[in-house]
A and B are shown apart, each in its own frame.
Chain A
Amino acid sequence: MEAIEYTTPKTLAEAVQAMADKGDRARALAGGTDLLVQLRGGRRSADLIVDVKDVPELNQISYDAQDGLTIGAAAPCYQIYQDPAVAANYPGLVDSASLIGSIQIQGRASLGGNLCNSAPSADAIPVMIALGAVANIAGPNGTRQVAVEDFCTGPGRNVLESGEVLVSVTMPAPQANSGASYLRFIPRNEMDIAVAGVGSSVVLDASGQNFVSARISLASVAPTPVFCREAGASLSGKAVSDEAVEAAAQLAMADAVPINDMRGTVRQRIHLVGVLTRRTLNIAIQRARGEE
């Protein structure tokens, strides 16, 4: 690894200042499970590491039935899935947080890091998109919000401007009769990068028999995570049925534009999007009905 400097700001203002001072040569460090590997392998370089784990706003996990859930960008996965409010209200998020890497990785890796790393295969992003999450960003010119589906712009690239820091991600409070789920396909049972991943959320009517709305998002099948607007919208107002789910799965498959690589082929990945869309929608429906 090239020589670097290291700083530990205690406030958000200090963190933004440190990032702004070094511009593109500064990188924020949360869990480091992607960043340190990339710096070591020469895939990213930096002069300054800004360790944001002492900044309170980046480490909070707060839930409120009105405002929803805000997760600090540096909060590690285990804190997320061990949080009672998250477990009770966002099981889809628990799906993601508890399958990223190993137990060791989950002790460090954060949803914010997963989002900022902006890998097409990121396991936490599809479910955040499905849940309608918003990224809270702070920078030299103040704060702004970006919908998570608009956050990634390419493999390893995103909307963060020089000097900006991802502070947190906010997910709206779950509506009545709603549920979400994330599944990925990997050849082993842990420790792999998704060959394909799907996050789905649904809102059902009071009877639990009809979709009010749905959101579907994909991993590992395009240069960025994919938000399948049409696939989700196709379910609005429909009766819950295998046919409706299948139609949504077909639309999701149409949104997948994967590549052939060591982890999978185009055909395999598109097929898996169909399988995982069906499976995640069915789990989300069960959760919405309180059956799980």
Chain B
Amino acid sequence: MPGVVHVQTTINGNPTDFLCEPRQSLLEVLRDVLGMTGTKEGCNDGNCGACTVVFDGRIVTSCLVLGVEAQGKEITTIEGVASPEGLHPVQQAFLENAALQCGICTPGFIVATKALLEQEPDADEGRIRHWLAGNLCRCTGYDKIVRAVLDAETKLNA
């Protein structure tokens, strides 16, 4: 195919090679090229946060990153949050606090929450709501999500 680029990157700690067209977003590459469908598409214009991944240490909406930009970068997706030992405390907290209903926004929220608590382990409710304002949830009204984040924070700090 003309214009296909070979990209070498690291996803969830694994060196990963892929081919993509420059017009393909990182989200498309993750889902369609690499089959990593845990990262979700809700709007494809950066306004819902369902496709949130960690890209070189910062959370970004992967729909607004080109796949080719992944060259030489470190990426963490929802598939990289749990470990062989089990769920990450943030995942466990979402589960136990009924912080998901349909679950489509959940991977984005979990990736964003994990990044927040790594940077700001004492974030208060206001900061949590501010940090997560780029992640839309239409089912929960956010109440149980915010409680889950506070719960995860308590457990991580214990």
Contact = CB atoms under 8 A, between A and B. Distances in A.
B61 A6 contact: no
A176 interface: no
A108 B64 contact: yes
Nearest to A6: B22
A37 B45 contact: yes
B130 A190 contact: yes
Interface in A71-89: 76, 78
Contacts of A107: 55, 58-60
Contacts of A103: 59, 112, 130-131, 133-134
A40 B44 contact: yes
Contacts of A1: 23
A41 B59 CA distance: 24
A32 B133 contact: no
B60 A104 contact: yes
B66 A3 contact: no
A94 interface: no
**Contact size range, A:** 20 to 34
A108 B60 contact: yes
Q: Which of A2, A8, A107 has the most CB of B within 10 A?
A: A107
B47 A36 contact: no
A105 B23 CA distance: 19
A108 B26 CA distance: 14
Interface in A84-113: 101-105, 107-108
A254 interface: no
Nearest to A36: B64
Q: Which of B5, B44, B46, B52 has the most CB of A within 10 A?
A: B46
B46 A37 contact: yes
A6 B7 CA distance: 12
B23 A102 contact: no
B134 A102 contact: yes
Interface string A1-18: 111111010000000000
A40 B131 CA distance: 27
B6 to A, nearest CB: 12
B100 interface: no
B151 interface: no
A164 interface: no
B64 A102 contact: no
A105 B61 contact: yes
Contacts of B65: 32, 108
A189 B133 contact: yes
B79 interface: no
23 contacts: A3-B21, A3-B22, A6-B5, A31-B64, A33-B46, A36-B64, A37-B45, A37-B46, A49-B22, A102-B49, A102-B134, A103-B59, A103-B133, A104-B59, A104-B61, A105-B46, A105-B64, A107-B58, A107-B60, A108-B60, A189-B133, A191-B133, A191-B134
Given A8-B71, A53-B69, A104-B134, 20 more contacts: A1-B23, A4-B22, A5-B22, A6-B5, A6-B66, A32-B65, A33-B46, A36-B25, A36-B66, A37-B64, A49-B22, A49-B66, A51-B69, A103-B59, A103-B131, A104-B46, A104-B49, A105-B64, A107-B59, A108-B58
The 8 closest A-B pairs by CB, nearest first: A102-B134, A107-B58, A6-B22, A190-B133, A1-B23, A104-B61, A37-B45, A107-B60
